[in-house]
Structure 1
Amino acid sequence: MKMKRVSVMSLAVVLSASIVGCSSNTDKAANTDNAAKGATTGQVSGGADKNKPVTLTIMSATQTEKPGGDIEKEIAEAYMKLHPNVKIEFMGIPMNDMYKKISVLAAADQMPDAFTNTPEYMYNAYGMNVTEDLTKLLGADYLKEFYPNVIEESSIDGKLQFIPWTSTPQALIYRADMFDKEGLKAPETWDDFLAAAQKLTKDTNGDGKPDQWGFAMIGTRNTSGGTRFLPVLRSFGAEEVRKDANGKWVTDLDSAKAKDALQFYADLNNKYKVVPTGVTETGFPEAASMVATGKAAMLISGPNALGTILSQNPELKGKLYSAPVPMKEKHSATFGLLGYSVSASSKNKEAIADYLKFLLNNENALKFADGTGPLPTKVALASSPSLSAPDKAGFVKALQYAYHAPTISTYSQFYDIVAEAYQGLLASNSKMTADDAMKKAAARANELIAKEGK
């Protein structure tokens, strides 16, 4: 399977250009969208009687997050108010468990009407024949509302696999108030990052022990940790999997650059002590809470973390800034698309498609973006003033350095491969070296590559 790739630069350029000349276009677009909202109040479910009861089941990773889950429910309730015959039921599944849950439900032929999907997993779902072709279901004219490269990134062989709801490129989030207090600027390189992290790690209550750290590292062995390490790996010039000049899949995980990236990452905790204790048990919720409470000053994450942090500490509004992930050889970011697929087995395809259009209409897309942090994916919203604010500007800039998810069908397993590697070094009783960890990681990667060729 091959998919045409389009450079992410076009999205970044459009966003940046729109920010410079932002006007009332967003408001006008939202008002126009509201006026057209009545179009969603007609018949649903394949032309069936609009008064016939319809229950839509949606497996959502967003439902496990704050405030995203609440905002998503508000939008669903607004839709149900417009459609009294429709009942929307959510299945909240954490992103770390989503892929496994899809496989289990697909095997049991119990798929919901819609489920969270990403470019990293869509090839697996496509291979299981559980995704409906949204190009046909949503219509070509409707899809013109999105950035073309976003649609390309969400498609396989011209078939849209999921409606791209949000873009969450990985970037560095930092507490501007803590940086200003120490006279620090956003780090450009990993040397800058380390210097800032060391200065921000300190004993603030005078008990002789650090109670504030520079970096809230997500060190769990799961998708959350793996997705945050990959931009670090690539910033050192190594790639977890790529195609060589002959079009064959290869891995750089056993390269010197990959080992340097892993060693630096582990040293932040083991040698430099700029990471809060218990790093191997620190997942996204814990790391975000550390930043919210002032226990840590920096975090690598997507813009969704902004909403999570502010929901815990509203007083940080205006004090959270973002910048691209620091560089060794280059900056790097995941594209971070997330959206909903419609199940091929759904008996309510047109009804769920109608709801998804409502979820992503201009008003609701902007409401969700402003309330949670992820960037919107529709062209009309690029002029939103919120994208030029310091908290979002770094993410917009990071899009210039975003890479497309490799199209190898087993790509989602590479998160665990790199997560196992960094956990091997971060474990308190570990005697493993970066060389040992990356040799093991490369061996696992090559096993997957060999299977891909069969």
Structure 2
Amino acid sequence: MNKKVTVLLSVCLASSMVACSSQGGTTPETNKSAAGSSNEPITLKFASWSISEAATKDALEQMASTYTSLKPNVKIEFIGIPFGNIKEQTFVMASSGDAPDVIQTFTASFPTYATSDIIAPLDELLGKDYVNDLLPSYKDDYSYQGKLMGVPWAASPYVLYWNKELFKKAGLEAKPPKTYDEMLEAARKIAKLKTDSGEAVYGLGEPTDKLPINGMIFLKTLYSFGGSIFDANGKVNLNTPEATSAYKYYQTLTNENLTPQSAKLKDLRNLFSIGRLGMYVDGYYGKAVFRSLSGKGEAYDNVWEAALVPAGNSSGKSVSIGEAHGLVISKDSKHKQEAADFIKFLTDKDMMLLYHQKSDVVSARKSISSLPEFNTSPFDKVLNEQMSIVKALPKNNPGLEQSYLDMADAVLKVTLAKETPEKTAADIDAKLKQALK
């Protein structure tokens, strides 16, 4: 278990970032709760991986500084925990009676929190108006048994990234593919290229390593082929022609060497950043990563563009999934209302605009995501257009995170072990019927 890194932020930092807004802006009045209106000193412990990462640390520190300047009796104590360890460590902390008040989580691992007994329902703490302002698909992704159990914070749809330079070298038109068939044809042409030093160039990357997030991303492909985990009666049914077609797509990518084997998302991001990958699907994180890993900074923005996920052959429409870094409140927190007020502050217009400007995050609140400030660049517009056509993930279930892992394993079997798509669909159908009862 990795050692926690704790960062204490001063409670008295002055801030010039406070702005007034009729669209949920940051003011002392809009963020003062009945429970937090006294001057009683309060410490909110916030477990987060973003506070330990260079790309997001500055934004979070500025947010906390602004909040404590508005509410001087509140101290924000960040507990930095790496992304890969945060679920395990916060559950251990909760079992020992030392749970943080606020915990950062992620869509693929949230089902384990939602179905546990360590977090609190949020509907009453946040209020009806706030809850109703959440985009429906993201609200569903962070609910369990009709209750909102987490807040989608840094939201993102999955969009297609494509390398304009590789398209040009491959003799392709300077425009993104509109359908899966067009995407495969473009990938085949790009995969014939080599780098100047003779290294392979891949046409189209899909994450296929055995990780829960990759099982979640598989749903994007399943939906695009007209499939679903559940049938019309709400029963698991993955042994279908649509699921088989989705697995055939993955097998085509590997059989024709269009995608790297057993890739994680970070592998695809790296390959795209160094000009060895023509296309792949990812969240908003791409731009900052490409700038860093390419070594070219903002100049690398001229190499790539983002586009809607290509339309599936069956539906004829772009369909994607969304994810979000989420925020939950510990059941044992002694300051639940104050923690809820802090979450409302972090997801308010001004703080989301700060986060958006620094990291390209998208708001999951209807009243904010549509504002002009969040739609200034072509990249912004693609993200927000895709946000309007994402499909909700399966309802949270005690077995959902394990099911994501099983779905990732199924993709690995059809690509690496060369199982037939038909057998893979039948096997995963049987597993999920046990896991998602």
TM bucket, shorter chain: 0.7 to 0.9
Give the superposition deviation at 1:420: 0.5
Give the 5 Å matches for 1:324-343. 324-326=308-310, 327-330=312-315, 331-343=318-330
Q: Please, which of 398, 410, 413 is the counterpart of residue 402 of structure 2? A: 413
Q: Please, which of 40, 59, 62 is the counterpart of residue 47 of structure 2? A: 59
Kindly provide the CA deviation profile for residues 141-188 of structure 1, in whole angstroms up to 9, marking residues without a partner as x. Answer: 444554466545544455322222132112212223443554242112
What is the DSSP-based 3-state SS (H/G/I as helix, E as strand, rest coil) of the residue aligned with 1:218? coil
For residues 132 and 360 of structure 1, the distance between their equivalents in structure 2, rounded to whole angstroms, comes to 18
What is the DSSP-based 3-state SS (H/G/I as helix, E as strand, rest coil) of the residue aligned with 1:289? helix
For residues 264 and 140 of structure 2, the distance between their equivalents in structure 1, rounded to whole angstroms, comes to 31
Give the superposition deviation at 1:266: 2.8
Give the 5 Å matches for 1:37-116. 37-39=27-29, 46=36, 49-50=39-40, 52=41, 54-63=42-51, 67-82=55-70, 83=72, 85-94=74-83, 97-116=85-104
- Residue type of the alignment partner of 1:231: K
* Structure 2 partner of 1:22: none
* Structure 2 partner of 1:12: none
Higher mean alpha-carbon deviation, 29-38 vs 395-404, is at 29-38
* Structure 1 partner of 2:15: none
Higher mean alpha-carbon deviation, 358-367 vs 169-178, is at 169-178
Q: Please, which of 349, 352, 357 is the counterpart of residue 362 of structure 1? A: 349
Q: Please, which of 273, 298, 302 is the counterpart of residue 279 of structure 2? A: 298
Higher mean alpha-carbon deviation, 153-162 vs 343-352, is at 153-162
Give the superposition deviation at 1:294: 1.6
Q: Please, which of 119, 122, 131 is the counterpart of residue 119 of structure 2? A: 131
* Structure 2 partner of 1:11: none
Give the superposition deviation at 1:341: 1.1
What 5-or-longer segments of structure 2 have no aligned partner? 1-18
What is the DSSP-based 3-state SS (H/G/I as helix, E as strand, rest coil) of the residue aligned with 1:38? coil
1:163 is aligned to 2:151: yes
Equivalent pair of 1:175/1:320 in contact (CA under 8 Å) = yes
* Structure 1 partner of 2:412: 423
What is the DSSP-based 3-state SS (H/G/I as helix, E as strand, rest coil) of the residue aligned with 1:213? coil
Equivalent pair of 1:33/1:363 in contact (CA under 8 Å) = no
Give the superposition deviation at 1:342: 0.9
1:250 is aligned to 2:236: yes
* Structure 2 partner of 1:219: 208
Equivalent pair of 1:334/1:403 in contact (CA under 8 Å) = yes
- Residue type of the alignment partner of 1:68: T
For residues 415 and 137 of structure 2, the distance between their equivalents in structure 1, rounded to whole angstroms, comes to 37
TM-score norm. by structure 2 comes to 0.81
Identical amino acids, percent of aligned pairs: 20
* Structure 1 partner of 2:381: 393
For residues 230 and 393 of structure 1, the distance between their equivalents in structure 2, rounded to whole angstroms, comes to 23
Give the superposition deviation at 1:92: 2.6
* Structure 1 partner of 2:258: 274
Kindly provide the CA deviation profile for residues 369-410 of structure 1, in whole angstroms up to 9, marking residues without a partner as x. Answer: 232233212314412255363323333333344222222512
What 5-or-longer segments of structure 1 have no aligned partner? 1-28
- Residue type of the alignment partner of 2:215: G
State the aligned residue count.
410
What is the DSSP-based 3-state SS (H/G/I as helix, E as strand, rest coil) of the residue aligned with 1:220? coil
TM-score norm. by structure 1 comes to 0.78
For residues 119 and 435 of structure 1, the distance between their equivalents in structure 2, rounded to whole angstroms, comes to 29
For residues 170 and 149 of structure 1, the distance between their equivalents in structure 2, rounded to whole angstroms, comes to 14
Equivalent pair of 1:122/1:161 in contact (CA under 8 Å) = no
What is the DSSP-based 3-state SS (H/G/I as helix, E as strand, rest coil) of the residue aligned with 1:219? coil
Superposition CA RMSD, Å: 3.3
1:445 is aligned to 2:432: yes
Equivalent pair of 2:362/2:369 in contact (CA under 8 Å) = no
For residues 145 and 424 of structure 1, the distance between their equivalents in structure 2, rounded to whole angstroms, comes to 41
For residues 126 and 289 of structure 1, the distance between their equivalents in structure 2, rounded to whole angstroms, comes to 32
Give the superposition deviation at 1:446: 1.7
* Structure 2 partner of 1:404: 392
1:188 is aligned to 2:172: no
Equivalent pair of 1:320/1:390 in contact (CA under 8 Å) = no
For residues 300 and 206 of structure 2, the distance between their equivalents in structure 1, rounded to whole angstroms, comes to 20
Give the superposition deviation at 1:440: 2.6
- Residue type of the alignment partner of 1:374: V
Q: 1:87 to 1:335 in 2, by over 3 A?
A: closer
Equivalent pair of 1:228/1:301 in contact (CA under 8 Å) = no
For residues 226 and 401 of structure 2, the distance between their equivalents in structure 1, rounded to whole angstroms, comes to 21
What is the DSSP-based 3-state SS (H/G/I as helix, E as strand, rest coil) of the residue aligned with 1:261? helix
Kindly provide the CA deviation profile for residues 9-50 of structure 1, in whole angstroms up to 9, marking residues without a partner as x. Answer: xxxxxxxxxxxxxxxxxxxx9645797522378689755534
Equivalent pair of 1:318/1:391 in contact (CA under 8 Å) = no
What is the DSSP-based 3-state SS (H/G/I as helix, E as strand, rest coil) of the residue aligned with 2:403? helix
Q: Please, which of 148, 160, 174 is the counterpart of residue 162 of structure 2? A: 174
What is the DSSP-based 3-state SS (H/G/I as helix, E as strand, rest coil) of the residue aligned with 1:250? coil
* Structure 2 partner of 1:197: 187
* Structure 1 partner of 2:335: 348
Kindly provide the CA deviation profile for residues 314-349 of structure 1, in whole angstroms up to 9, marking residues without a partner as x. Answer: 222354422232223233211324321111111122
For residues 302 and 374 of structure 2, the distance between their equivalents in structure 1, rounded to whole angstroms, comes to 11
For residues 432 and 291 of structure 1, the distance between their equivalents in structure 2, rounded to whole angstroms, comes to 28
Equivalent pair of 2:156/2:362 in contact (CA under 8 Å) = yes
1:323 is aligned to 2:307: yes
What is the DSSP-based 3-state SS (H/G/I as helix, E as strand, rest coil) of the residue aligned with 1:59? strand
Q: 1:119 to 1:431 in 2, by over 3 A?
A: closer
- Residue type of the alignment partner of 2:395: T
For residues 108 and 436 of structure 1, the distance between their equivalents in structure 2, rounded to whole angstroms, comes to 44
